[in-house]
Every structure is written in structure tokens, then in C-alpha cells.
Structure 1
Amino acid sequence: MQETWRWYGGLDKITLPDVAQTGASGIVNALHEIPYGEVWQPERINARADQIRAAGFDWAVVESLPIHERIKRGEGDLTQLFANYRQSMANLADAGVQVICYNFMPLLDWTRTDLAAPVARGGTCLRFEAYRMAAFEIHMLGRAAAEDDYPEDVRQRAAIWFQQSTQADRDALLHAIMSGLPGAYDRYDVDGLKHALTLYDGLDRTALRANYKRFLDEIIPAADDLGMRFCVHPDDPPRDILGLARIVSGADDIDWIMGAVDSKANGLTLCSGSLGANPANDVPEIAAKHADRIHFAHLRNVRKDSDGAFEEAAHLEGDTDMVALIKVLLAEEKRRRDTGRADHSIPFRPDHGHELLTDIGQGTFPGYPMVGRLRGLAELRGVIAALTHGV
């Protein structure tokens, strides 16, 4: 398995020389400065690829080549947006980048309610608190239908929190929820988010699936022609948010996606944390079922509460059996080698680490500190070394 590291380019306070000290060989990167829907021009791609290679890495995965929200909504004439997307793919392939991670989450990317929840022995982690999300949806956003999305005990806790909260508390909650948007994109205030949500009125699960199928039909044949690998990232958290349907949350969803376009290019980013936040998901089992379509892995762990809350655990702690999961990935790599596949190696990265020691106060991207991820990489590296010893 290839060790990789997510790096945000010029937006990142962690430098490539810093990353070199982790021992990772690949960089996971995107051109976050380019607005959704615009073509990634060759000169921009090549400049980034040259920068990465000059530092001693290869650009292993693009994460992400974003999908314009109009495509997700199925809104208007999408011909040019699909053409732009395919052109960006071709430009990346010309630069030697073959793996593209993406997601199909409407409007928001990953969502948390707390960016610095305390960890028992020191440090902080990302946390999703169900009652705080309910407080945001019901009391701050005023989304009437949200009452039906949470059980009574969570609604009661949400009401108490809102009554006791200060404006600073509410501002911090909004900031946390908006922080999942990568790069230099718009963050919404409450009124702006209310307006943005109106654009998704009527977009239920069936409609969103139809729009996703259309995207796959437009893109995967081009990926096949270019020899690229596309891999969808699961929803984070794996549940509807803000009344927006999410369709990459569980085993049935992934079965549907893999069957929607039957091509090796139509693959999965195996994110153990996103899938692991859904109590119904057996992550090693999902990985084993779709092993031949896993093109990239995010390895992290979560610890779940019964009310739907969860937090980032240490990589070898939490609710997912990480050793069992890595066994599945290593077995798939062996199968690929035995069949003569040149691209047998599965790139992985240590996802969402705790903020530890000198991470605290550095202002890195939430979930992407240096020391916390380095701890995770070291632990995962140890598991891989033990499982491959003598093989």
C-alpha cells in the first residue's frame, strides 16, 4: 500500500518539506483555488505536479475534482459543465495523474459540530454532536421539517442548549458546520444557507440518484478511455443533513453505485471513518465485497454514541476493526499483483488526526494537523508491516 498525505497546496500551513519527514511517498492534492465547473488548465496542473515532484513525491490522487452543484441538482443545460469536467480529466491524465476522488454530497462536504472536542489524555478531535446539529437546524436555521429528523430526547437537549447558548456559541457552531467546505469557497451565514437550501427544494433521494447516474454515464466512459480510476467518497456523516438527501451512506448505496455503471473505473474511496459512523455498516465487509473497485483508502476511526453522535478516535481505536480492514486491502493488492496488474498498489492516507502537542494553535485545516496524522500514519504503518511480515 502506498503511503500518501493530503496537502492543500498554497493554502496549507504544512509544507512539502514537512511532509517529507513523515516518510509518505505520495501527495493527495487538488487545485482548490479553481472555482467549481471551470476547466483545470494544463499549465496549472503541470505547475502543481512539478512542485510535488520537485519535493520528491508523486501526485498520487486528486482529491477532489469537484462536481458543480448544478450537476447534483440536475439543473438546466449541463452540456458545458460535463465537457469541462472531461477536459479537466484529460488534462490530469496528460500530467500522469490517474486517480480521482470525488463526492456527491449536496451543498456541504463533511460536517462536524465541534472542531476541538477534548480527548481524554490531551489534545482535541473533531466531533459531530447530534443535539447541536438539531439545535442548528431547528432553532438557528428554523427548518420546520427538522423536528421529524431527530428523536424526542435529542430535540429536548437541542432546545436546552439553544436556550443556554450565547451568540458566540452559535457563531462557533455555524463556523464548525461550514468548515467542511474545502479550499477558497464560500461559507454561508444563516440567511445565506437558508437561501442556498431553497435551490434544493424537491431534490429527494430518487432525484439525486438519477442526477448521479447521469453524471456517471457522462464521465465514466471518458475515464475508461483515459485509463483513469474514479472513486466516490462516502457521505460524512452518513445521514441526511439539513433536509438534503445523501446517497452514499451505506452498503446498499455502494452496491447501487457500483452497479450503476459496471466499469472498473467506477470505484470507491474506502473511507473507514465515514462509513464507520453509520452503525449499520460493517466496514471490513463492505471493503471485501467491493475490493476490486477500491482505488483509494482513507483510514481513520470513529467512536459512536447511541444518539447519533460520533467523534474521531485514534486510528487503532474506535468502532472499526482497523486490522481486519487492512487485511482486506492487502489481500486485494496481492490478488491484483497475481493477475499482473501494474496499478496493484492501493494508495491510502491517514485521515483526520487528533490535534496533539505542537499541533494545537497552529491553525491547520480542521482534521489535518501534522503530529496527529503522523501518529496515525505510524500506527497504520506498523499494522501493515506486521501483516506483511514474511509474505
Structure 2
Amino acid sequence: MKQTWRWFGPNDPVSIDDMVQAGVQGVVTALHHLPPGATWPIDEIRKRQQQIAVMQNGDPSGLSWDVVESLPVSEDIKRQSGNFRAHIRAYCESLQNLKTAGIETVCYNFMPVLDWTRTDLNYRLKTGATCMRFDLIDFAAFDLFILQRDAATDDFDDTVYHQAGERFQSMSDVQRKQLSSSIVTGLPGAAENLTLDDVRERLATYDGISADKLRSHLIDFLSEVAPFAKKVGVRLCCHPDDPPFPLLGLPRVMSTEADYAHIMNAVDLRSNGITLCSGSLGARSDNDVIGMMDRWGDRVHFLHLRNVQLETTDIVGSFHEAEHLTGGTDMVGLMAAVARQESQRIAAGRCDWSIPYRPDHGQNILDDHGRPTQPGYPAIGRLKGLAELRGIQAALTHSQFGKMG
């Protein structure tokens, strides 16, 4: 298991120096300034590698760009509309350029419109830490009474509908604006200060696209891109839906093990792989994350290790980001399953036996409260998570307990 850290580029408040001091072994990043559908030029890729390789005083950082997160799939590809053919060609060109630069693991997602959704980006816990939270009633209040989406009433039962109405009535205008802002933050381009009309317009582009149709579009995409990735030596790994259930009338196709099984079997190549996110998958009470690692570990190329605390037992319900060793996922059991998979890869002679992981998300603690940060990506909260995960890894690989490999 290789310890990595997500970095949002030169404007990230968490610097290369911070990562070096945190003791990470590799970097997960992307060319966020390039739009979906564009080819990533080799010079831009090498520029980002050079930024990662140097500390502020000019000394070598010892870090490299190990995982791309994400090489985005355009909405045209997801809908099979507009310039999707050109975008697929550009995607393959980007994979070739990444391989030329020595980068072989590429994470992506196939979520329509939304990259992730939370209703509160600074939910206060009893400890004083803050975290991201998804509150189903708040979300329903937004969908039903703020966005006023057509057909929203079909997506919520009577109990949720009435609770959402009461919640909406109790909110001040400031609270309603804050709720809208938190939800819109998960949309790519949210920095453009999207209006509610902008959101409605983006949602409307998926009218008539069912989950079955979106799934077929994903298979079509992978049928072209995964063989090319295999040819050039790149591993693709699809991130699950976040959260893993339908929202805003949009289809979801990567929320359960059955979803992954369908896609892995439809394009049965190792280059068509999985980003196993224990937080996203763990937000559904019916997902067996450890079992999924045991059954599909051969296709897992990247790990997001985080935990969520479910607040209900319902499939669609509220949850918040927990500490890495609390919440619904047995993190020790999951990392033990990863260690078993790595042992199998070593025995099989695979060069990709070490699976990169990163401490996904983190609670804001200590000085995190006083510095700007990407939602879910504080320096100290993630460092705490990494330290905890590193401790599990050290115990699992200690010679006293049967060192792997």
C-alpha cells in the first residue's frame, strides 16, 4: 500500500512542503484548469510533475505524481451527445500523454452533473471538529422548495416531504442560501457562482436518460477507452457515486457491488478497474465494502480510505464524515483485505502489486479551523487520518504478524 495525498495544484493551501512533512509517498492530482473533453498536453503534464518535485526552497521533494484524479469524462460523453466522439479521442490522447510521462493510474467518475453532494460543509461535532454532512431532510427541502424541481415530489415519501416542508419553513433566508451554496459546491464549475436556473438547465440535459441508458453509455465509453488503456499500459479506475443513490432525478450507475460487477464483466479487461472508496460505498447500509475488496480486489487500482457515520439504516439517508477509524466501515478489516490482495499480486508476479491509497477527506481540527481549504481536505485532519491508516498498515505488515511480500 502506497501512501498518497490529494493535491489541487499550486493554489492549494496545503503545499508540497506540507505533504513532505506529512510523510506521504506520492501525490494524487489533476490538471484542474483544463476543461472536460480537452486533451492534456504533455508539456502541461510535465509542468505539474515539476511543481510536485520541488519544495519552496528549491530542494527536491522526493514526491512524484502517482495517480490522476480525475481525468474528467465530459457530459457529452455521458449523454452521447454533441462532441462526444472528439472527446473520446481526446481522452485517449491524454492517456497516451500520461503514460509517456510515466503515470499509469487514472481515476474518473461517471456521475451526471454532480461530482459529489453534501448539505453542510462545516457540520460541528461534539468534539468541536467540523466535517461534511449529507442531511436527507435538508436536501429534500432544497429539491422541493428551493430548486422546485419538476417531479421532485415523486422522489420522496410523505414523511420526508412533510419533514422537508417544516425544515424549509424554519430556515432563514441566510440558511436557505447557505444550503444552496453547499449543494452547488459539488457541481463542476461551482466557482462560477451558478444560479438555480443554471442548475435547472444542467439537470434538464439529462431528461430522458435513464439509468439503463447511462450504463450503456459507460460501457460504450469503456469499450473504446479500456482497450486503448491496456495497449499503452494505463489502469483506469472508476470512482463510485457520491452519495451512492439517485439525487435530483439524475441516474446513478456506480453505487453498488452489482453496478461494478455489471461494468467489470461487460468490459472484462484489467485496464477497466475500480477506485474503491470506502466512504462513498459505505454511505449505503447494504454495501459490503470489505467483501467487495475480497471479491473484486484484482480490479482495484486505487483506494480512497475514509469513513462515514450513517444516521439511519435506510438505503437513502443522512450521514456525516466520521474519523477514519470510526464510522460504519471496519478500516482494519478493509486494510487487511487489501494486504491479502497485495500478497496475491506478489505471488502472481504483478508489477502493480502495491495499491496506492489516500486518506480521503478529513475533519477540520486544530488549526484547520483558521485556514482556507478545499471542502473535506484540511491539512491536519487528513494528517490525523493518514497517521491512523499508517499505523494499521505498519501492524499488518510487521514480521511478527506475517509480513506480506
TM-score clears 0.5: yes
Counterpart code for 1:320: T
Whole-angstrom distance in 1 between the partners of 2:290 and 2:142: 33
Q: Do residues 13 (structure 1) and 24 (structure 2) align?
A: no
> Cα distance, 1:183 vs. partner?
7.2
Q: Match of 1:35, SS?
A: coil
2:96 maps to what in 1? 90
2:385 maps to what in 1? 376
Q: Is contact 1:32–1:182 with CA below 8 Å preserved after alignment?
A: no
Q: Is contact 2:77–2:85 with CA below 8 Å preserved after alignment?
A: no
| Equivalent position to 1:235, from 235, 238, 241 | 241
Counterpart code for 1:152: D
> Structure 1, unaligned stretches of length 5 or more?
none
Counterpart code for 2:248: L
RMSD between aligned alpha carbons? 1.3
String of CA shifts for 1:188-226, please: whole Å, max 9, x gaps. Answer: 211111111111100111110111111101110110011
1:123 maps to what in 2? 129
Counterpart code for 1:253: D
String of CA shifts for 1:81-104, please: whole Å, max 9, x gaps. Answer: 111111111111100010000000
> Cα distance, 1:318 vs. partner?
0.3
Whole-angstrom distance in 1 between the partners of 2:310 and 2:290: 17
Whole-angstrom distance in 2 between the partners of 1:372 and 1:321: 19
Q: How does 1:260-279 map to 2 (within 5 A)?
A: 260-279=266-285
String of CA shifts for 1:127-177, please: whole Å, max 9, x gaps. Answer: 000001101111111123222222322222211111121221111111111
> Cα distance, 1:59 vs. partner?
0.7
Q: Is contact 2:114–2:188 with CA below 8 Å preserved after alignment?
A: no
How many equivalent residue pairs? Answer: 391
Whole-angstrom distance in 2 between the partners of 1:169 and 1:313: 24
| Equivalent position to 1:347, from 347, 356, 359 | 356
Q: Do residues 365 (structure 1) and 365 (structure 2) align?
A: no
1:331 maps to what in 2? 340
1:387 maps to what in 2? 396
Rate the CA distance shift 1:133–1:117 in 2: closer, same or farther, 3 A.
same
Whole-angstrom distance in 1 between the partners of 2:32 and 2:139: 27
Q: Do residues 101 (structure 1) and 100 (structure 2) align?
A: no
| Equivalent position to 2:182, from 170, 176, 179 | 176
Q: Match of 1:348, SS?
A: strand
Q: Is contact 1:37–1:85 with CA below 8 Å preserved after alignment?
A: yes
Q: Match of 1:360, SS?
A: helix
1:136 maps to what in 2? 142
Whole-angstrom distance in 1 between the partners of 2:386 and 2:36: 31
Q: Is contact 2:311–2:318 with CA below 8 Å preserved after alignment?
A: yes
> Cα distance, 1:77 vs. partner?
4.9
Q: Do residues 318 (structure 1) and 327 (structure 2) align?
A: yes
Whole-angstrom distance in 1 between the partners of 2:190 and 2:170: 33
TM-score by length of 2: 0.94
1:43 maps to what in 2? 43
Q: Is contact 1:3–1:348 with CA below 8 Å preserved after alignment?
A: yes
> Structure 2, unaligned stretches of length 5 or more?
55-60
| Equivalent position to 1:309, from 318, 330, 340 | 318
2:57 maps to what in 1? none
Rate the CA distance shift 1:279–1:232 in 2: closer, same or farther, 3 A.
same
Structure 1 range deviating more: 336-345 or 101-110? 336-345
Counterpart code for 2:273: G
TM-score by length of 1: 0.98
Whole-angstrom distance in 2 between the partners of 1:276 and 1:187: 31
Q: Match of 2:370, SS?
A: coil
Whole-angstrom distance in 2 between the partners of 1:20 and 1:183: 30
String of CA shifts for 1:219-257, please: whole Å, max 9, x gaps. Answer: 101100111100000000000111000100011101111
Whole-angstrom distance in 1 between the partners of 2:328 and 2:116: 19
Rate the CA distance shift 1:138–1:184 in 2: closer, same or farther, 3 A.
closer
